[in-house]
Structure formats: structure tokens, C-alpha cells
Structure 1
Amino acid sequence: MENQEKCTQGERVLVFAPHNDDEILAAGGLIQRYVESDTQVKVAVITNGDGQIRRPPFLPFLRPDFVKLGYKRQNETLEAMNYLGLSKEDVKFFGYPDRGLSHMWTNHWDRNDLYYSKYTKTNHTPYDNSYNGKAPYCGSAVAEDVRHILLDHKPDVIYLPHPNDSHPDHWATNGFVLYGLEQLKNEGFDQLKKVTMLSYLVHSVKFPWPRGKYLESSLSEPEHLEGLDTEWVGVELDMKERLRKLRAIGKYRTQTQLMRKYLISFARANELFGIVPSLSLNNSLAYGGKPNLSRDFILNEEEDEPLLSYLNPKRRSRIATLRRYPDMKSVSLNRNSEFLNLSIDFFNKYRPGNEIQITLKPFVQDDKLSGIGDSHSFRFLNRRLYHNQSEVEKGNGYDFESGSKSYRLSIPLEKINDPSKLILSITLARKGYPFARSANRLVKIH
């Protein structure tokens, strides 16, 4: 583990937390260190954790009052951050729906198609202290809030969830932060072009391990993420920092009442962060080796065009294993002057009843365009392809095929505004239930 200085340098730091407590689990030690060095630290909490079904036994309300729970979790964050030296003004609550961020990233992007939370019983934030007032539950609104806080704080170091975190809200938060930052870079905000992005894990297989109070033990990269292109950096904490982090975790009483052993597992001898590179089709081979493309999948491929391939960790859930759902092995891309070609390879057999959803967030190099752009969703189900809910036919500019352990798709670049860059993610689902996701990856197209 190298480059600890990347995690400890900086004059303006911004921590993105999907839920109240992720900020302390990920960076409770470093927040202390930044405060002591007079570094400006802001914390952006995307949801208020208001989708918590299990009620801690000490809460006074008998019927589920998820908004009241959200306010209580806000107060826990403020108490913990104050204990570490931050003020109330240093913490911003966005107020978006717990358990809803992934839906807003993939399916509910526009303001004319809002997400409805079954917990808060609304499609707008119900809180009176949200960062953007009564913000609508849609992906473009989250992305806009991310843009605003980036412009307001102008950080040189950003902490965000790792793209392979298994929690849907963490996975989506990574995408929103990546999108908001890249959109501003695309618009010419040069001050943000040298930002250090440090990603953290909270939800992953056997992480942290073992569970419980182990102040002398260090966090290390989970086995199932070994071999990916993340550079992991461990930052050592002294005993004073570890103990203060442990006590700060105790401020989140709604959570420690339910999963104390898990939460205190993050008070360790170090904090672990990953540096995830962006990818480029201009490289002859970016990562992961050449995929096993079938000979009949040419799809407008030109011999001189480079091939980009990156791996996906094998992490099938118990349900997915029992039901023999497919699991992604790698994702590959190439392009020519007219088409973007995408290939997905699976560890096991792909069955037609499983849905493949490919989400693309394009960035268009156009001085006349600014702000939040379009989102493109390609769904493949029962041998049919849908682009943003409309079925498209083979031969109408698109081409696609599914093999026993692969899926191939060719997309006309003009259909996605011929982007200079895009963020790509893939979700596998069965009867509307997602069971696997690829990382959100920023890819330079040309």
C-alpha cells in the first residue's frame, strides 16, 4: 500500500456519504487529522437512512415513522461530527430516499419520471433542512446537487464510495459524484481537474474481517476484489485517533443498537482507500486482457480500433447461486467512426429470462451545452432490446446477440449524441430484482 500522502494532503476536503454513519466508518480517523491541521472539511450526506425497516428498540414511535427516523439519524451525524471537530455548517443533508438512489441512477433520471419512496411516502424530499429545498426524487436532481456543492466548496480531495461496493445506494452515490465532477470538468472548470478521488468500502464480502473490536488490526483489500485496477492505499491511525473514531461510532445509536459488532469493526489501525483510474479507448489495451470474443461478433469492428476490457469481481449472492443467475466476468468496449461496441462475458450460463440493463451517461464536448445531460438505458430481455423504454429492432442501426456466456451490443454513436466520454454501468436483474452490478466506470471515447 503506497501513496499515503494522497490521502492526507489537501486544503479543501469533501466527504460524500450515502447514509448517516458512512462518513465516520470511511474516514473518521482522517477527519480528525484534517481538523487538527485546519483543513476545510465538508460532509455531504445523500440520504437520511430513512428506509430502515428494523426499528431500534429504544425509539419512542411504535408505528414506522421513517421521516422522524431520518431526522434522528441527522442528529447522530451532527453529534459525531461535532465530536470530531466539525460544525453543523460543515454537514449538508441532501435528503434523497434511502434504498432509492440506484433506481434514480438507472431508471428515474428525469424530473418527469420521479421515484416514489414507500418509506417517506413521497416523490420529493420531505425534510425542511435539505440542501436543495424540496428536491424531487430523480437522478438529475442528485447530480445537480453534487455539482452545486462541488462548485461551492471547490475541493482538492474527494472521498466517495468505491464503485464495487455491494450496497445499491453506495454504488449509485459513486456514479453521481463521478458524473457531477466530470460534467464540471467538461464545462471547463479547471480548478476541479486536479481533484484527488479516494474511494472507500463499507459493504463488501467479509469486510471488515473479522468483525468486532480489533483496534490493533488493519483493514486490507477484500480477496474478491484482488486483480482489479484499483490502487489501494492504507493510512495508519495512531491510538488516539482509533479510540476517538470508536467513540464517535457510538454516537450513531440507531445503528449500534442493531449492528454494533459490524460498525466498530471499522475502528482499526488504518483506514483504507482506493484510487480507481478512468479508462480510455485511445489506449491499445487498458486493462484485463483481451476478452474471448466470438468470431461471428464483428459488429462494425475495424482492425485498427483498440479494444478496452476490464474485469468484474465474482460476488454472486446466495440466492443468485441457488437460482443459477448469471454473474458478470468482464466488460469490453471498442468503437469506430459510427458505432460503440460493447461485450459482456459471464462466469456461467446466461438465460433469456434474465434482464441486462446497460446505463450510459454521455458527456458531449459542446460549448453550447452545460448542466445535467441525458441518460441512456438499454434493456435486453427475452431477446428484445429497449432503448429508454422503446423497443428497437435489429438492423435499425443497432445489432445485438446473446450467447451461452456472453452478450454483445452495437450502438450507433449518434443515438447517444456521439460523446467524448461516458459513464458505463451494467445491472443484471430477474423479474425486476437486481442481483448483480458492474462498477460505474468513466470511459474516454475519443
Structure 2
Amino acid sequence: MTDIQSPVIVFAPHPDDETLGAGGLMAQAVASGADVHVVLMTSGDGFREDAARYYLSFDISPEEYIHMGYERQTEAVEALGHLGVPRDHVHFLGFPDGGLARLWLEAWSGTPWVSETTRVDQVPYITDVVEPSAPYVGARLLQLLIRLLTQIRPRLVVMPTTFDQHPDHWMTNVFATAAVREWETQAGLAEPLERWGYLVHWNAWPLPVAYRPHLAAEPPENLRQLDGLKWVELAVDAPQAEQKRQALMAYESQVELIKPFMLAFVRRSEIFLQESQWTETSRIVVPPPDRLAKLLGRVNPLKGAAWGRIGDHLEVIVDFDRPPTASMVLEVSLHGIGTGVHRVWRVTPEDAYSSVTGRQWRLSWPVSWYDGAPELLVGIQLKRGAQEVGRLPFRLWEGL
């Protein structure tokens, strides 16, 4: 049995993700006497298909989306009760469903982000949230996560993996990773925390899309091909698998839409990427495309990036599968751990500090712009107009 250190904190973008990805882990941890906390970044108030089913209408008002958020909070409390997680260990933040990436990339501070469904720019929930009326800005969300970490002082952190294909999921990983490293720095911890990443959204995964509790969970083939990734397979016994099934069925609003998909996560094991032990530091790569991505024409044009320091400049060389074009924009995010520096650069091939040669795009900035940060959390998205067409997973880089 894998040793689960206590306390455990599980971060999830929406109610049900925590159970899909780590329901067996939570049941096992509680059974062993561990303290388990769950932090839900959003209340799931942006799921349009769910709202259409719930209200039998495509004309949903902002107030109805908020009501749906309250319903999903209620479901989460019941679901986590099946896993043994007490009500006061469930922490709702109420930030915008479908908007977490925008908070990091566009609304870090200043003018708050406005939810596309609830049409509010602050937490609308009055009860059962960590901070009612918290503004929808990334800096405030990060502060709240650090506050929870300070209160809970976890030994094991569980979150969506950086490779998850849903923006709210990979951005929950970014916020949680930044919060953990900020807290570790403030608390002066001698050893970094274990960070385990669970996967929910990936092309044609998990298979079969059906209830098969006798099968083991396995990472997608193209993720297994990446060097430097270490996976943990956590055995889930039959009673714990049944607890997980019951917890998932408590999410009635989701069961009507995606029951086979949800039950496909009830297996005799769960898998986690040991993100705190990802050995690769200066070079970031993406998984090779799978057959479905090729069939749908959704192949990531970005192949990888190498980060380095050249004298008094920070440099990144981004590799493409074909020469970049003038219509492309690189959205480069750099967050300085322990300094408060947060920058997002939108760069075209013609910009200063930018040059393109063949299939490589080179960017360079003065190190002084990062206020002496010893560590950066870095990520890159590729856009054509407003549409994201590729991305590289966010990574901690200690090369400064």
C-alpha cells in the first residue's frame, strides 16, 4: 500500500473532479486516519449543457446559473460524505467556472474578470464559501489558496495534472503549484511537499467508457512515452471503489449527462503523476499526438521549449512542428515565486526580444525584470487571433 501522508489537501476545478481523480485515495486516506481537505476552485456554475438539462431551456439567466452552483455545492458535500470527508473540510472558493485561465493570463489584478454565465465579477455565493464577494482576479485567488495551505499545513497535495486538456484543470494545477511553492517559501519548509497530479480530460481516455471496477487505471499511452514522468499507481480495494461509485452517483446533475464517463473512473487503482519529482528542468516537451488528435486535426504545433539564462538575460527557444507564421502570437507567462512578480507577454515574430529561425522562435528578456526571483513558474500558449491552438505545460524553473 502506498503511504499517504496526513494532512492531505485535494484541489479540484469543479465539484466531481476531486472524486473522479482521487476518490479512492480520499477513501483510503480517511480509513487510515488521515485528515483530508478538499478545495473546490469553482462551483460548476458555467456548465451550459448541464444548465440546459436542469432548466429544460437554452435561455438561462445569470441567477439560474448561480442557483445551479449552489446545487452542485450541495452535491459535493453529500458526495464527499460517502468518502468520509467531513463538511468542515470542504472549502468552496466560488471563482468563475470556465474562467480560471483568464484570471491568470488576463485578470491577475486590477479590473476583475466577468463570468460569461453568472455575469458577476466577484464570488456571488453568500454561504459556505471561503470569502464571499472576493473579486475575480488571479492575485486574490492565489492569496486565498496560500491562506488555506497555511491553515491546513498539508503533507500531500493532490491536484489536476499539468497535462489535463481542460483549461480549468490545467490552470488549477498552475494556481495550486504557485500557492504551494509560495507557502513552502514563506513557511521555510526543509523539504518540498509531495505533489500528485490526477488526470480527468484526455483524448479517448479512460477506456472503456464504462463501469469496470475490476480493471486497473493506466496513463494514456502518449503520456507514458514522455521521459522523466513518474507515475504512482494507488491500489483501490472493492469497498473503497464502491465508496467512490456512491460518491460519484451523488452528483445527480452530472450523472444524467455523463454517467458512463464518470463510472469509467471507478477502477481497482488510481494513477497520479508525481509532479514534484518531474526531473526535467530546463526543457519542456509535449506528448506526441494520439490518433484522435491527428484525425480531428488538433495536433499541437508546439513541440517543446528550452529555458536558459544567457548572461543578464532569460532566454527561451520554442520548437514548432513547422515554421511559425506572422499571424501567430506566443502568450508567455512568468510568475516569480516569492517576489510577487507576475508577467504575461504576448509576442509576435516582429516584436523586440523576439526572432524566428526555421522552426524555432527565440525570446529573450532582462533577468532584472523578475526582481531577483530564484524560481519561476513558466508556461506558453500559442494563439491565432483569440483562439488558442497550442500550449506547453506550465513548469517550475529554477535556472535563475
What's the TM-score once normalised by structure 2's chain length? 0.92
Amino acid at match of 1:85: G
In the alignment, is residue 401 of structure 1 matched against residue 355 of structure 2?
yes
In the alignment, is residue 343 of structure 1 matched against residue 317 of structure 2?
yes
C-alpha distance in 1 between matches for 2:323 and 2:235: 43
In the alignment, is residue 443 of structure 1 matched against residue 397 of structure 2?
yes
In the alignment, is residue 361 of structure 1 matched against residue 315 of structure 2?
no
C-alpha distance in 1 between matches for 2:284 and 2:16: 31
Which moved further from structure 2: 86-95 or 59-68?
59-68
Q: Deviations over 1:128-187 (max 9, x none)?
A: 132122111111111111101100000001101101111100111101111111112223
- TM-superposed deviation, 1:221: 1.3
C-alpha distance in 2 between matches for 1:314 and 1:132: 41
Residues 314 and 327 in structure 1, CA contact (< 8 A), matched pair in contact too = no
C-alpha distance in 2 between matches for 1:405 and 1:47: 39
C-alpha distance in 1 between matches for 2:309 and 2:12: 35
- TM-superposed deviation, 1:59: 2.8
Residue 151 of structure 2: SS of its match in structure 1? helix
C-alpha distance in 1 between matches for 2:86 and 2:298: 50
Structure 2 counterpart of 1:302:
none
C-alpha distance in 1 between matches for 2:295 and 2:238: 42
Structure 1 counterpart of 2:11:
16
Residue 59 of structure 1: SS of its match in structure 2? helix
C-alpha distance in 1 between matches for 2:236 and 2:298: 43
Q: Deviations over 1:284-312 (max 9, x none)?
A: xx649xxxxxxxxxxxxxxxxxxx32311
Give the direction of change, closer, same or farther, for the CA distance of 1:231–1:270 in structure 2 (3 Å limit). Answer: same
Work out which of the two has the higher radius of gyration on C-alpha atoms and give 1 or 2. Answer: 1
C-alpha distance in 2 between matches for 1:13 and 1:115: 31
Give the direction of change, closer, same or farther, for the CA distance of 1:355–1:326 in structure 2 (3 Å limit). Answer: farther
What's the TM-score once normalised by structure 1's chain length? 0.83
C-alpha distance in 1 between matches for 2:32 and 2:298: 52
C-alpha distance in 1 between matches for 2:91 and 2:298: 42
Amino acid at match of 1:136: P
Give the direction of change, closer, same or farther, for the CA distance of 1:136–1:318 in structure 2 (3 Å limit). Answer: farther
Structure 2 counterpart of 1:375:
342
Residues 229 and 277 in structure 1, CA contact (< 8 A), matched pair in contact too = no
Q: Percent identity?
A: 26
User: Which structure: greater helix fraction?
Assistant: 2
C-alpha distance in 1 between matches for 2:157 and 2:318: 30
- Within a 5 Å distance, the mapping from 1:34-53 to structure 2 comes to 34-53=29-48
- TM-superposed deviation, 1:214: 0.9
Residue 216 of structure 1: SS of its match in structure 2? coil
Residues 344 and 408 in structure 1, CA contact (< 8 A), matched pair in contact too = yes
- Within a 5 Å distance, the mapping from 1:85-100 to structure 2 comes to 85-100=84-99
C-alpha distance in 2 between matches for 1:84 and 1:103: 32
Amino acid at match of 2:28: R
Which consecutive unaligned segments of at least 5 residues does structure 2 have? none
Q: Deviations over 1:407-441 (max 9, x none)?
A: 10111101222321100000111221112221110
- Within a 5 Å distance, the mapping from 1:34-433 to structure 2 comes to 34-55=29-50, 59-60=54-55, 62=57, 63-64=59-60, 65-110=64-109, 112-129=110-127, 130-190=129-189, 193-225=191-223, 226-277=225-276, 287=280, 308-315=282-289, 327-364=301-338, 373-381=340-348, 383-385=349-351, 394=352, 399-433=353-387
Give the direction of change, closer, same or farther, for the CA distance of 1:150–1:79 in structure 2 (3 Å limit). Answer: same
- Indicate the RMSD between aligned Cα atoms, in angstroms: 2.3
Residues 156 and 194 in structure 1, CA contact (< 8 A), matched pair in contact too = no
Amino acid at match of 1:375: H
Structure 1 counterpart of 2:22:
27
Residue 389 of structure 2: SS of its match in structure 1? strand
Residue 245 of structure 1: SS of its match in structure 2? helix
Amino acid at match of 1:445: G
The number of equivalent residue pairs is 394
